[in-house]
Homo-oligomer: A and B are copies of this chain.
Amino acid sequence: MNNFVFHTPTKILFGKGQVESLGKEVAPIAKKVLLAYGSGSVKKIGLYDKTVSILKENGIEFVELSGIEPNPKLESVVEGVKLCRENKLQAIVAIGGGSVIDCSKAISAAIGYDGNPWDLLLDGSLITSAIPIFTVLTLSATGTEMNGNAVISNMQTNEKKALKSPLVKPVCSVLDPEYTCTVSPWQIASGTADIISHIFEVYFSLVEGAKVTDGISETLLKVCIEYGEKAYNNPDDYEARANLMWASSLAINGLTAAGKGGEPWSCHAMEHQLSAYYDITHGAGLATVTPSWFRFILSDKTVGKFVSYGVNVWGIDPSLDPFEIANKAIEKTEEFFFDVLKLPRTLKDYGIDETHLADMAEKAAMEGLDKAIIPLTAEDVLKIYKDCLE
């Protein structure tokens, strides 16, 4: 068990109608905020109107930044920084999914930085201040509502990078599962794959003895499997939405990494190249990459972790041969991603061919994958990409 630092200062208001408390949280901290959101979906579900009326009731002025796109782009960050500076905004209220929140975090950190905000994604130590962030989450996936990470895309350089700073952890996040009830089955499926991948990236670390952490990870994986399917098939299942939502926050707030190390993350590095080059949905890309990564890393050294996964998460008979358990566990994972959640199985399903794979593999490996839980070279990544092709 490794040493670790665990710090989740974000106050979570979880459940039906909790947005009503948002004004009480924002008002003591800011009188003038950026209201950030994406497409019109927050208007369709009534969250936009609700937030506007709460801000008004609490005497909080706001300036809007709308149209933040999935896989948020550097351009939106630049625009948000401009609005905050021009209007001397004191905080950001982000309503939406991970993209809106990630974009808001990058804006928050870039306000006090004079250069190009992209610099902050290349070197997190440049972040020395950030304005407070409040979020109302509408999609269970990235866990950004409770951590200090944000992923931003730079389409000019075909790069997708993660910003990391404790300064951008939201002050308060409202998690009302009812706001996720209009999320499409496709988004539920890719969100669930994203949550599962956050857990996998650390769970398969070879650090031994972190039993609390491993047990929590297995619990969250079982919740994702049970409730991912339920939410996918029945959008009105509150219990399913609620458990998925809470699992998504806990899967990447430090709890599943406590004592295990695990960074840098392999599947995320590989997927970031996929969505940087082809703008595909992050969670879906992770689902496509994961089984090939599993098969690549399965060895005498890792088989014990696959046995724990297979037995404790999938209930596979522990008396079987360890490699048989491991392979069954990988098959179960594939069935879940591709048959239950109906996510695309191969890169060909996205129309992706070999064209950029070698370049992407180089870039993915450069994300520090020589220090991943199972170190990967560019050549290894290329093999994994090719294994996903069809």
A residues within 8 Å of B by Cβ? 1-18, 209-213, 215-216, 218-220, 222-223, 226-227, 238-239, 242-243, 246-247, 250, 258-259
Contact = CB atoms under 8 A, between A and B. Distances in A.
B4 A14 contact: yes
A2 B7 CA distance: 25
So how many copies of this chain end up in the complex?
2
Contacts of A5: 11-14
A170 B3 CA distance: 20
A379 to B, nearest CB: 35
Given A9-B9, A258-B14, A212 B3 contact: no
Given A14-B258, A216-B219, A219-B216, A243 B211 contact: yes
A4 B216 CA distance: 19
A213 B243 CA distance: 9
Contacts of A247: 212
A367 to B, nearest CB: 26
A212 B258 contact: no
Given A1-B239, A219-B219, A246 B212 contact: yes
A14 B9 contact: no
Contacts of A15: 1-4, 259
Contacts of A10: 7
A243 B18 contact: no
A86 to B, nearest CB: 32
Contacts of A7: 10-12
Contacts of A227: 211
A186 B23 CA distance: 49
B209 A215 contact: no
A9 B7 CA distance: 7
Given A1-B242, A9-B9, A13-B5, A215 B219 contact: yes
15 contacts: A1-B15, A2-B15, A3-B14, A3-B17, A6-B14, A8-B8, A8-B9, A14-B259, A15-B259, A211-B226, A211-B243, A213-B246, A215-B216, A215-B220, A219-B219
A220 to B, nearest CB: 7
B242 A209 contact: yes
Contacts of A226: 211
A251 to B, nearest CB: 10
Contacts of A218: 215, 219
